[in-house]
Amino acid sequence: ICGPSGFGKTAASIAIAHYLSERRVFRNGVLFVSNGHHNEPLSAADIVQGLACAMKLPAHASERHVFDALHRRQSLVVIDNPDVQAWAVRTLLANMLGHAGDIKILFTAEQSLSENGPLFGVAEKVHEIQPLDKRAAARLLLRRSPRRVLPEELGAKSREALLEFLANHESLCCIPGRIVEVALMLRSHDLRAVLNSRENRMNLASARKSGMGGHTKFRKNLGRHRKM
């Protein structure tokens, strides 16, 4: 899952992990590796340590120990924000797939693996996540507000009219992460003031610069393929 920061990649990966885990799609469940609330991309060592923790292995388990444990599993491995430009990470992912044939890997990053050059033996399906549509963005802003937003704040006569007015407002940002940040401002400001705020205008400018398609692509590198 690829896309700029704030587009909802982590939220999407968590939702997918829960969905597949609850339905036992993978016999041994889902392993989730992330950096918590930190934005730094995961290194190869971080990924190995995270997998060791997820599988309840010793804290300083070696890469070989982790691979051996994965070899006995049929799991989905979700890696949130690995450093896909680092050769050590790219090699680790390829080796992981080669050593443990019954796992699949889902990762989130701003770029796909193949954008940084071909990786032998790996086939990659890429979904580039896109901004919300205006109506969904309006619903998210109202839902994440720490207080009830009144229709009168934008001159609307009903909740539905407020939603429609907000969805058509030129200052509505459609990046989920930015919307959540702006929604917190509603604690102490009315909706019109928030939409016209400097912070919201900056988010809107950022959204326009980050605009991208949301189509799904399937990329194959030369060599023996294994789907991630």
pLDDT digits (tens, 9 = 90+) for 126-153: 999 999 999 999 999 999 999 999 999 9
| Coil, strand or helix at 197 | coil
Token digits of residue 58? 């010793």
Token digits of residue 77? 């491995």
- Choose among 176, 58, 180, 44: nearest CA to 107: 44
Contact 128, 217 (CB under 8 A): yes
Q: Which of 25-29, 31-35, 98-102, 126-130 has the lowest mean pLDDT?
A: 98-102
Which is more confidently placed, 51 or 210? Answer: 51
* pLDDT per residue as tens digits for the range 33-73: 998 877 899 999 999 999 999 999 998 899 999 999 999 89
CA angle 211–212–217, rounded 5-degree value: 175
pLDDT of residue 69: 94
| Coil, strand or helix at 32 | strand
- Choose among 186, 190, 182, 188: nearest CA to 207: 182
- Inform me whether the pLDDT recorded for 97 exceeds 80: yes
pLDDT of residue 207: 66
- pLDDT-based confidence at residue 223 (cuts at 50, 70, 90): very low
Name the E strands within 63-141: 76-80, 104-108, 123-127
